[in-house]
Every structure is written in structure tokens, then in C-alpha cells.
Amino acid sequence: MSAANIASTPTLPPVTAQTVEIGGGDLSQELVETGEKLALSLWQTIYQPWTLYQLGIVIALYLVCLAISKQLEPPLENWVRGLKLNSGFLRVLAALLRRVEWILFVPACYLAWVWADSVTYPWNTFILRSAYLLAAAWLVINVASRVIRSRPISRTIAMIAWIIVALSLTGYLAATQSALDAVAFSAGEVRISLLVVMKAVALLVILVWLASNTGNYAETRIRRMTDLTPSLQVLMGKLIKIFLVIMAIVVSLNSVGIDLTAFAVFSGAIGVGLGFGLQKVVSNFISGVIILLDKSIKPGDTIQLDQTFGWVRELRSRFVSVVTRDGREFLIPNEDFITEKVINWSYTDNLVRLDVDFGVSYDSNPHQVSELSIEAINALDRVSSVKKPVCWMTEFGDSSLNFKARFWISDPQNGLTNIRGLVMLALWDAFKENDIGIPFPHREIIMRTPVEVSQPPTED
């Protein structure tokens, strides 16, 4: 910068201690005079050429960014609509899409501030710097309030952002950081201060959120790979999510200067504490991994555990989601599938054999009953044609000829009781058409002595 430029650079009128000092005398008069001096100082500051230049630059930059955003928003909206992302990323993109002018305005103000700071004194760039910081804070707060559904958390983020901006504009940010860094303790060779903890927590929250949403997106993409088995899809999705979360924790701690190797001494004690305190959680997690590796249960299987019968909707790290026929969803711990007896109706394949017992009267032809039963069962849609139904006579009962009909279905997830009911109705219709009776218990009373029945006289 040349000497001529330095000489012609306008300077702010200093506000000295005498300018704002309130001494003795009439207090109201001194307050008025102090207010007039402060107003005059503020007016002189605003009237400086560089101040007017900065205001003009800020207004011009915003108008240009607004015009550009009007042209960018329609194609960007069409592009976002075509993306197949999880809900977390879509909320962020939707929040950013409505604030394109501010996304352009923040870096524009920053570049203008850097340029102005290189050609003049730092105090001549106060307006550009303030516009950049305020616009960036407003953008972060506005996007966070749209993405984070919890109002207390979003308000906390807004308060922290405004405090940082206020400290930066007033010049107290460095002093505040030094004060927070002074509150520290040492753990071996590691020095942990309050400032480091705050930075680590903030960075950890952001990175874990990104890792979780990235893992969900990867899990969704893996589930669309039809060449992978359902168990392998779930296992790969869980491993990716765990890896991303661990990397987020490691990166966040290393980014704030915490050396993880120094915590190797405490790893044994921490592992023992977690082993006792989180015994059930770890057991369910390991059981879930075992289930995925041995493929004993996979999404879509029809299972029965104690009195719970339904189909597996989802395998999670801690539990298995089982949906019953009546719409109830049971969250069964993974450990129960390792230690308890589980019936998997579709472990090898989906073919399931069902039995229906019935009886007919002794007047019926058992050969005809068997043929009619097989024909009636074959006519049902849900009965599998891969394995033919059979009907066997099993017993000469006290009052009936007893039969057992056996048939196969390939969709046990659609229910077992309902198909048994349909088979019974089909047998009833077939027997009714062919005059085959189904016996039922009845009683006959035989009187050994004559019984006289008389009607009591009626009164006229």
C-alpha cells in the first residue's frame, strides 16, 4: 500500500475517556451531553467513505445473490426431487434449497471482506466482516431449526451461534477461548481443557449425525442388492454403520488434539466396566451378529417363539422385530433366539405342511371320503401344487370314521388358522353335496316304565 493511499485513508474519530466520562454536576445534563457525543461519533463513523462503500458492497452482493438464486432454485429443486436419500439428508437439502441466496451471500461477503482487508486497514472492513458473520450465523440457525425437530436443542444452537458472533464482533472471542482453555486437567500426558471438551462435543455430534445418516443411506442401498441374501444385507449394513460411528468418534477426538494412544492405559478398566454394566446389551449385540452369520433367522421368515407367531420384519442390533397376524409388533431380544427354542417355519424353504382331523359317519364310504377330501383341498388357491395333499383314515372311532388330511402351503406368513378354516369349509361343502354325514354327540333317553302324561285342568 502506497504512502499516498495511507495518508488518504479515513480514520474513525476516537472516542476518548473524556468524551464519555460522567463527572459531577447535573446528572441529566451530563447524560444528554454524553448521548449527543456518542450519536455524533456514530454518525461520523457511518459517514466515513469506507463505511458507505462497505454498505453499498453488501447491498449489491445480496441483490446479485438473490437474482442468481432465482435462476438456480428451479433446476436444483428438480434435482433434489430425483434423489433417493434418507429423510435426514433430504431435510437438510430441503432447508438449504429455500435459502440459496444466503448460501451464495455468505461466501461472497467473506471474499469481499478478505479483498477489502488486503487493500485497507482492518477497521475499514468492519461492516463486511459483520455482514459475513451475521449472515453465516443466521444461515446456520435457520437450517438447524428446520433440520432439528427438538425446539430446545435448536434454540440452544441458536443461542450459542449468536454468542460466538457477538464475541467475535466485540473482539472478546480470543479472550473467551483463552479463559475456557485455562480450565483444564491432565490425564497422564493428555491435557483436557473445557474448550477442548466443548469443541469435541460439538464436532462429535455433527460427525455422528453424518455417520448415522450415511450408514442409513448405505443400508438402504444394500437392501436393494438382490444378489445378496437378506441376512448378508443386514450384516453389511450394521457393520458399515458401526465403522462410520467409530470413525466419527476417532476423527472428532483427533481433530481437537486428543491423542487416543494416551488412553490405552484406561482401556482395560473401561472394558471391564462396560462388560459388567452393559452385559445384556453386549450379549444381545453378539447374539444378533451370530444370528446374521449362521442365517438361522432372516427378514421375512415365519417364526414361532413361545406363544408369539409372526413374520420377521427387521433385524436390529439389540432385538428382532416380529409382526403377528393381528398387527402387533413384538421386539424380542436377540439373546432369546440363541437360548430359547424357536420354530422357523421357513428356515429351509417356505413349504409348510398342515394337518386337519375330521370324522364321518359309519354309513359313509371311506374310499369316497378320501377322494372327495383330496379334490376339495386341491381346489383351494393357497394349497401348494408342488406337493399333493393326502387323506388317510386313521381310526375306527366310537361314533365316526376318523381321517387326517395333510396339505402343503408356501406362504405361512399369510396365516395358518385361516387356511385350516378354508379347508374345513371345503370339506363340509363336499360332504354336504354327496350326502356324507359328520357325526356329532347326541343323547337318547329310554324310559323302562310307562309314563303317563296328563294336562292340568284349565280354569274357565
pLDDT > 70? residue 26:
no
Give the end of a domain, one of 117, 136, 168: 168
Q: State the chain's maximal CA–CA distance in angstroms.
A: 144
- Based on the fold, state whether residues 152 and 240 are members of the same structural domain: no
Give the model confidence (pLDDT) of 170-211 as tens digits. Answer: 778 888 888 888 887 776 666 778 888 888 888 888 888 788
Q: Quick check: is 72 in a domain?
A: yes
Q: Quick check: is 216 in a domain?
A: yes
Domain of 412, CATH number, reads 3.30.70.100
- Based on the fold, state whether residues 123 and 185 are members of the same structural domain: no
Give the end of a domain, one of 128, 153, 168: 168
- Based on the fold, state whether residues 145 and 240 are members of the same structural domain: no
Tally of residues, the chain: 460
Domain of 302, CATH number, reads 2.30.30.60
Give the model confidence (pLDDT) of 62-105 as tens digits. Answer: 899 888 988 888 888 788 777 776 666 777 777 788 788 888 89
Instruction: Determine the Cα–Cα distance for residues 452 and 149; give it in Å rounded to an integer.
Output: 87
Number of domains in the chain: 4
The residue-averaged pLDDT of 347-371 equals: 89
- Based on the fold, state whether residues 151 and 45 are members of the same structural domain: yes
Reported as a pLDDT band with limits 50, 70 and 90, residue 10 is: very low
Q: Quick check: is 252 in a domain?
A: yes
The grid coordinates listed for 19 are 468524551
Domain range holding 331?
298-344
Reported as a pLDDT band with limits 50, 70 and 90, residue 144 is: confident
- Based on the fold, state whether residues 234 and 138 are members of the same structural domain: no
Reported as a pLDDT band with limits 50, 70 and 90, residue 383 is: very high
- Based on the fold, state whether residues 158 and 180 are members of the same structural domain: no
Q: In 3D, which of 283, 305, 327, 354 has the Cα closest to residue 297?
A: 305
- Based on the fold, state whether residues 36 and 116 are members of the same structural domain: yes
- Based on the fold, state whether residues 177 and 84 are members of the same structural domain: no
Give the end of a domain, one of 152, 168, 184: 168
Q: Quick check: is 448 in a domain?
A: no
3-state secondary structure of 12: coil
Instruction: With 0.85 as the threshold, say if the pTM is over it.
Output: no
**Is the Cβ–Cβ distance between 97 and 73 less than 8 Å?**
yes
- Based on the fold, state whether residues 361 and 394 are members of the same structural domain: yes
Instruction: Determine the Cα–Cα distance for residues 438 and 446; give it in Å rounded to an integer.
Output: 24
Q: Quick check: is 357 in a domain?
A: yes
